[in-house]
Each structure stands twice: as structure tokens, then as C-alpha cells.
Amino acid sequence: MVKDKLNLPTPTPLEGRDKVIPYFLLGDSAFALTENMLKPFPGQTHAKEPDKAAVIVLTIAHLHNYLRAHSDTYSSGIRESESLREDYETLQPIRNCARRAPDNAKEIRKELGDYFLKEGAITFQNNY
């Protein structure tokens, strides 16, 4: 992504808007905010209801277990715990470094937020 080798489609405006928005992936606070990697606004969380977060985590765990049991392709990508332990022991500590997001990435995130609160809103989005 950093080297622009993902072959993402050409940026286009959102429906009913003029500003061109690039295609992007969604990440969490562990990722740097860039034009193609967006993350929530700082200090905001959508996990207002821990019960819903627990349901999401359990759903992901069940899906993972189902795929391991019923998919040869998925299971072949899972590494054994011994191998993971060896990898863990060779990891170097990660330095915490300050990083300032580019202004254009902040503008894209702001445009998307505005869009999804107005003409891009869906009827049930405030129910969760």
C-alpha cells in the first residue's frame, strides 16, 4: 500500500459529491492514517455496548473454528502454536513513535464522515 502496488481502482467522488475519494481499507488506531488506510477519529469508539462487542468477538471465533473444520484451504494457512512461539521469541520490541497524519488523509476521513451522516446514511445506523 505504501508503494502504491495494490492496483486499487481510480479514486472517484461519492454519490452526490464533487470531492474525489480514493478507495481505502479500514484500520484501527494501530495503523497510521493515510489516503488508503482510514481509521476512526481519535478518542472515539463505537464499542459503547460491551455486550455487542462480545457478540462480535464470539462470532469471529465461531467463523474461524467453522472454517478450520470445513475448509482445507483455510486450515492450511494456520500455523501450529510451536511455530508461532518460535516467531514470538525472535520479535523485537516495537518503538512507540509519534506520527502525524497527512492533511489530505484527514480531509478524506472528514468527507466520508460527513457523507455517512447525511446523504450516505442508512436508516438503521443509529440503532447500534
Q: Is residue 76 included in any domain, yes or no? A: yes
Triad 107, 31, 89: Cα angle to 5°: 170
Cβ 68 vs Cβ 78: under 8 Å = yes
For residue 6, being part of any structural domain is answered with no
Q: What is the pTM of this model?
A: 0.55
| 51 in a structural domain | yes
- By the 8 A CB rule, do 74 and 67 touch? yes
**Domain-located, residue 85:** yes
Query: What is the count of structural domains for the chain?
Result: 1
Q: Domain range holding 120?
A: 12-127
Query: How does DSSP assign 10-30, residue by residue?
Result: PPEEPTT--SEE---EE--TT
In a domain, 105, yes or no: yes
Distances (CA, A) of 53 to 1, 27, 41, 49, 62: 29, 16, 19, 7, 14
Please tell me the distance from the alpha carbon of residue 118 to that of residue 115, in angstroms, as a whole number.
5
Evaluate whether residue 1 is within a structural domain: no
Q: Is 2 among the domain residues? A: no
Q: Summarize pLDDT for 82-108 with one digit per residue, the tens.
A: 565 666 667 677 666 667 788 999 999
- 9, three cell numbers: 481502482
Of 17-31, 33-47, 96-110, which gets the smallest average pLDDT? Answer: 33-47
What CA–CA distance (Å, rounded) separates 113 from 64?
31
Is 50 within a domain?
yes
Residues 56-79: pLDDT tens digits? 788 888 888 887 777 776 655 555
